[in-house]
Amino acid sequence: MLVLTDNVPRSAAIVSPSTAWAPCHIGDLSSGDGALWRALGPSDRLWIADLAVDDDSSFWSRLVIIDEAPESQFDAVRELYRSQQRLEGPVACVALTGRRFHGHRERTWVAERGNLHLSVGFEPRLPAQQVLPALTMLPAVAAVDAVSSVTHGAVRPGIKWVNDVLVDGRKVAGVLTSTQTRQTIVDSAVLGIGLNVAHAPAVPATVFVPEVGCLARCHAGRSVTLAEVSWSLLRELARHLERLRTAGPEQLLHRYRNGSLVLGKPVRIYDETFGERLLDEPWPEPLARGRVERIESDLSLRLEGCREAVTKGRLAFERACRRLGL
């Protein structure tokens, strides 16, 4: 794996401090690596290292570590694929901190140093009908498995539909998926994962995210390092991608359902464009409400008493709505 960074001392948060770095100029890089660095790097100067990794981590051809990203790496990698830029194999990008990070529908994500901000890009070249819902599930399932792995099963996160990862009711991670399809084939995919490792950012409580947490606030997660979580997540992503490629989406759907926190729970579904409205402002009626009976293979929800499946929207647990006075 080729590793590129703009800050050797800071990169020790992810790779070994004994890593042998060599100074480099952007003009010395290949076309694909040069385009990747221009999209992510703050200057023309960088350092590179050839890192020996285990079999699962070897799926990733490039790892870019940026000390302070000037913009969302998820957006930057997505735009590279949209411009049809050829990259040197699957790429993983870590920002130790940064600006203009966001979640679904551009909702602000606070990027604090000590937490994980990971974006990965790859070319599935698989039928869209087969894998599009699976690629939405994949980063959430991988985040659940990575946290469980580094805590030896002591911390067991769950998934709040569609893309939030919670521990003890507190949001510790959010994920994004963006795909580009050509005819019937998924040509490229970018996954973004923000995972609170050392810090729980101070954000106002809403019915959608009543509380925010981090691994350091879990007894079994206090000693977990950013490097451990990063490499565990890269391995889980690679493992699930390989299974998706060879065995199809069924096992991933099974893991998503098993990790779901919404099955059997009373919920409300609001329009997905609905922002973080203050609780003392007028709220519209939810699009749907009821107990979640099942999650379909396309990730739509079946609610008790609702004739139509819920295919999109923002989910709030009924108990959170009542606790906050709605």
| Tens-digit pLDDT profile for residues 101-148 | 998 878 888 899 999 999 999 999 999 998 999 999 999 999 999 999
Q: Which residue has the tokens 């590179």?
A: 48
Give the 3-state secondary structure of 139-197: HHHHHHHHHHHHCCCCCCCEEECCCEEEECCEEEEEEEEEEEEECCEEEEEEEEEEECC
Per-residue model confidence (pLDDT) at position 278: 59
Rounded percentage of the chain residues whose pLDDT exceeds 90: 84
Per-residue model confidence (pLDDT) at position 274: 73
Rounded percentage of the chain residues whose pLDDT exceeds 70: 98
Per-residue model confidence (pLDDT) at position 105: 79
- 280 pLDDT exceeds 70? no
- Residue whose C-alpha is closest to residue 163's, from 188, 150, 186, 144: 144
Which long-range CB contacts under 8 A does 278-285 form with residues at least 24 apart? 279/207, 279/324, 279/325, 279/326, 283/326
Rounded mean pLDDT of 282-298?
Answer: 93
DSSP reduced 3-state for 217: helix
Q: How far is CA 230 from CA 142, 234, 257, in A?
A: 11, 6, 24
Give the 3-state secondary structure of 29-62: CCHHHHHHHHHHCCCCEEEEEECCCCCCHHHCCE
List the CATH code of the domain at 2-259: 3.30.930.10
- 277 pLDDT exceeds 80? no
CB 54 within 8 Å of CB 81: no
Q: Look up the pTM and report it.
A: 0.95
Pairwise CA distance, residues 323 & 325, whole Å: 5
pLDDT band at 203 (very low <50, low <70, confident <90, very high): confident
Q: What is the DSSP letter of 260?
A: B
Tell me the pLDDT of the chain averaged across its residues. Answer: 94
Per-residue model confidence (pLDDT) at position 166: 98
- Of 283 and 160, which is predicted with more confidence? 160
Per-residue model confidence (pLDDT) at position 275: 64
Per-residue model confidence (pLDDT) at position 159: 98
- Residue-range domain boundaries for the chain: 2-259, 266-323
